[in-house]
Structure 1
Amino acid sequence: MAALHHLRQYHPLCIAVSKLHTSSHASAKQHYKMLVLGGGSGGITMSARMKRLMGAENVAVVEPSEVHYYQPLWTLVGAGAKSVALSSRPTASVIPSGVKWVKSKVQEVNPDKNTVYTDDGSQISYEYLIVALGLQLHYEKIKGLPEGFEHPKIGSNYSFETVEKTWKALQNFKEGNAVFTFPNTPVKCAGAPQKIMYLSDAFLRKTGRRAQAKVIYNTSLPVLFGIKKYADSLWDIVKRRDLQVNLRQNLIEVRADKKEAVFENLDKPGETKVIEYEMLHVTPPMGPTLVIKGSALADEAGWLDVDKETLQHKRYPNVFGIGDCTNLPTAKTAAAVAAQSAVLHRTISKILKNEKPDKKYDGYTSCPLVTSYSTVILAEYDYNAEPLETFPINQAKESRIMYHMKADIMPQLYWHGLLRGLWGGPGPYRKLFHLGMK
């Protein structure tokens, strides 16, 4: 908490100086020592760190959006626990002062020529490149979407446009099936699809409508959660609250006019099942952005091909990656970005000195599994799918304190710590809390 207070005291200064950075469309040709692609959590934190490392005038961020979102809050927004307005701020207020904001969309990356082309026809050359382009949501890969969102009873916590539809569907629930889905693709925040199920169950109990509801979680995965310690606790909750979990079920079609969802059995291809719903929460299929997928930077699956320990590109030594766009074999979360940012900062600082990177990313990621309006199971783990917990308690147990962290502390840590390049994950605190043994 003392550390958080230390970070929060910078807030007034942050707002004051944020207006000093420059923004414009790219001119015909520009060159930067460090070019950052993407103004999400990874791009902003790295631009702040690179500003301190090499000076603001040497750093530029390419980002077309006028608004920056704190997406982890949408789990609570979809359940009515937080306002959607709290999840967004102007991009201008989070880009570090003095850093150039190129307000364009990346069209093409040519790492052989150290050049990026934007959608307004401009080209930007770089000495070093950080790719933080996130991933792509593919609602359109489900038949009947995204047009199905025009109907009531259906929502999704994965986009700003659809998150409030989840809350409206939950408020208007009368009786029938409340259905929640997990797609057959990599996703960001793999716990979010079931968090809204637990919250919806809690809301229906609170409002006296749970007896009229059948709560169903259809997941493409063969497990409820990938880390056994936390999965065991979640299964206990599922049984205790009479929630129906169906494994290996993939949503392939939504018939919004009929309130029907069609699922394919992944263990028996071609076998489908139609479920009528009174409420449907859709987690969309996701994949790499086309810019990366169509470039020499991609692996076979289209993700940015980086070394899993240093975050340096495997074939282009002056290119680095962070966050959801990478092929790092860990869950795609904001917590992972925080831990990666500290490692990447160290990697780049060493390379600038012609030294070998000496700090290794262990795959740390975190998923605060919200199980009610007052409890959270805080899952933290590494590349080996082994728990890597910060606090010297059993984090697989539901906790009120962890809910407070998720709902109130983590957003502040994000805005005033991570985005300013001041928060690199809980690693140092973990060692302190565990007396240096973890």
Structure 2
Amino acid sequence: MKVYSLDREQKDLGHSRQAQYLFNYVRDLKAKTVILEEQYFDKDYVVDYSKFYARSFTTHERFTKRLHFFSHSFSQKEFREVLENNNMQLSHIVRESYLGFVVVKPLVDARGNPLIGRTILKPYSPCTEQDSCNFVEGEYSASLYGIPLHVKSLPFQVQDIAVGACSTVALWVSLHPLYDLFGVPMQSPAEITERSASFPTEYRSFPSSGLTLEQMIVYIRSTGLDIESIDIESKIESEIGERIVPDVIRAYIKAGLPIIATVELEKMKNTYCHAVVISGYRCDQTGVIKELYVHDDQIGPYNPVVSDEGFIEWKNRCVLKYDRKLVEKLLIPVYPKIRLTFGRIYEVYLRERKGSLSKEFSTELYLTQVGAYKEFLRNHFIQDKVKILTTSLPRFLWIIWFHLNGTPVIDDVYDGTSVFPKRLLTVRFHDK
């Protein structure tokens, strides 16, 4: 165990692009203290180790290092006081100032830098009073020498080309919220690559050359889920070209569903395929998205993305400089009982946007579950409140939401389990 200030933490993280990003990220989170667990048994790494590294001629360590970050300053002596005497005041400070952790694998990349493993860090909040942020996140726990720690986040890690490339990592990131929502089993990157390889290609599974789009879809369906695939490239020149990406992101992020984006990277007239996970967004009071947050294994978690082209072409503070970054497809893993596809409800939404109400109010489309929606309604003033709350509704709902600077006015509620759009009710909000 070592306790030290953030200033010397770069040594343990290494000097890879992702390590530099993470160092700046935790600094932006106002991290002041780091605790190093020198021998940490990380489940994901151990599975990958057993499937690949255990059978290598070169000896690899089984234990990782784990770095914990805190926004409060305390010394090693003070932390020992927490462990030895259960100092309640200091223990409270440790728990309340927890920002998350980074696992460092006992492996190196092509440049000799340590590989960043499972990383769970608190999302930073760039929002002001005029903005709001929405993230795909869950509650994660860590036990630090018997001290229970908690943080809301979405896990991240860097690709280990031996067992999985960017597409594998994108699937791995997506599994975490899907586990919470639908009970999808958790798997390590090596297990994801192995299962995806049931769809044959000309390339080797290990070391990984990356997954094809078909293999990614095969993997998602193998978990018992279905896939909503939205072809952005084909809609660029259409009337909805500059709206489609923000509309999809709002619709599914609010439901807590991860969105995998396949991106074409262009550099010196060469193109490369890349996969990332859209993990959140920031919008203004009218619902206009100003910034996306992306888990990109080439950069780091919650990487900010802006755009002048309706988020079809991305601009971010990427260390790797590309001439263009174009979104090709958006893949959303969905529960099979969500039978009303985005395409069908989106047609209804576009018609309603052209109606008279949309001239007075902002309009958004989003997916939700009945329990969460009724809890939302219970905390607002609506007409026929008891009748609506006691009305039987399906588990999944599509909502077309009319609002004035974030204040709800009208909700049109559609059956998310129906094949074709079926409006179930209209909810009208009012002042107290």
TM bucket normalised to smaller: under 0.3
Tell me the TM-score normalized by structure 1.
0.25
| Greater Rg by CA | 2
Higher strand share: 2
Tell me the TM-score normalized by structure 2.
0.25
Which structure exhibits the higher relative contact order, with contacts defined as CA atoms closer than 8 Å and separated by 6 or more residues? 1
